[in-house]
């Protein structure tokens, strides 16, 4: 089995299901984790699924992914628009990085339309609600060749 796909989520995503459900949907972060695990299993992969409201902890996990992950799915949430630290950590990776968003940032406020994470991402998936995570895990599996096994 390949190294796991890391799936990391940034601030306020622990409140999925109750936080602005008209934008982010009614599924909880536990629901999203289950979707990711099931999608990864379909490709013979596992996920390491984590969420933090703390930028430094996300940086630590991205650095950990350098050695322990086959790919990284990252929903940086608000940190995508503000964190050069996340960008710098991502630039050290040689594994695929999929940026993931529940909503479509391009259709929202002007300040949400660009992210630092996009500068280091292999690809971006957004606007499909919780399915964005599933699609990102599937893309990661394809990029590491798991889809061919």
Question: For the chain, which residues make up each domain, given as ranges?
Answer: 5-148
Largest separation between any pair of C-alpha atoms in the chain: 42
Res. 149: pLDDT tops 70: no
Distance in angstroms (rounded) separating the CA atoms of residues 36 and 33: 5
Residue 22 CB contacts under 8 Å (≥ 6 apart), including other chains = none
Closest CA to 116 of 88, 91, 81: 81
Res. 113: pLDDT tops 80: no
**97: region left, alpha or beta (phi > 0 left; psi from -120 to 50 alpha):** beta
Structure-token pair, residue 45: 């992969």
Res. 111: pLDDT tops 70: no
List Cα–Cα distances, 79 to 110, 141, 143, in angstroms: 15, 25, 25
Instruction: Count Cβ atoms below 10 Å from residue 89 Cβ, excluding itself.
Output: 21
Q: Which of 9-23, 83-97, 113-127 has the lowest mean pLDDT?
A: 9-23
Structure-token pair, residue 32: 């999203």
Closest CA to 66 of 32, 36, 41, 97: 97
Give the pLDDT of residue 1.
Answer: 64
Instruction: Count Cβ atoms below 10 Å from residue 21 Cβ, excluding itself.
Output: 11
Give the pLDDT of residue 133.
Answer: 97
| Greater model confidence, 148 or 88 | 88
Active centre residues (catalytic): 24, 101
CATH superfamily of 5-148: Dehydroquinase, class II (3.40.50.9100)
Distance in angstroms (rounded) separating the CA atoms of residues 134 and 39: 6
Q: For 18-73, what is each residue's pLDDT tens digit?
A: 876 676 667 899 999 999 999 999 999 999 999 999 999 999 999 999 999 999 99
Give the pLDDT of residue 98.
Answer: 98
């Amino acid at each position: 089995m390949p190294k796991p796909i890391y799936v990391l989520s940034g601030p306020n995503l622990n409140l999925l299901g109750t936080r602005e459900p008209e934008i982010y949907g009614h599924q909880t972060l536990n629901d999203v984790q289950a979707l990711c695990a099931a999608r990864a299993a379909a490709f013979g992969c596992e996920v390491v699924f984590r969420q933090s409201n703390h930028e430094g902890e996300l940086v630590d996990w991205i650095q950990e992914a350098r050695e322990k992950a086959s790919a990284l799915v990252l929903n940086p949430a608000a940190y995508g628009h503000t964190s050069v630290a996340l960008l710098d950590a991502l630039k050290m990776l040689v594994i695929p990085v999929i940026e993931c968003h529940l909503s479509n940032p391009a259709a929202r406020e002007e300040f949400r339309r660009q992210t630092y994470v996009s500068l280091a991402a292999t690809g971006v998936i957004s606007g499909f609600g919780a399915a964005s995570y599933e699609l990102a895990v599937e893309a990661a599996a394809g990029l590491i060749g798991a889809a061919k096994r």
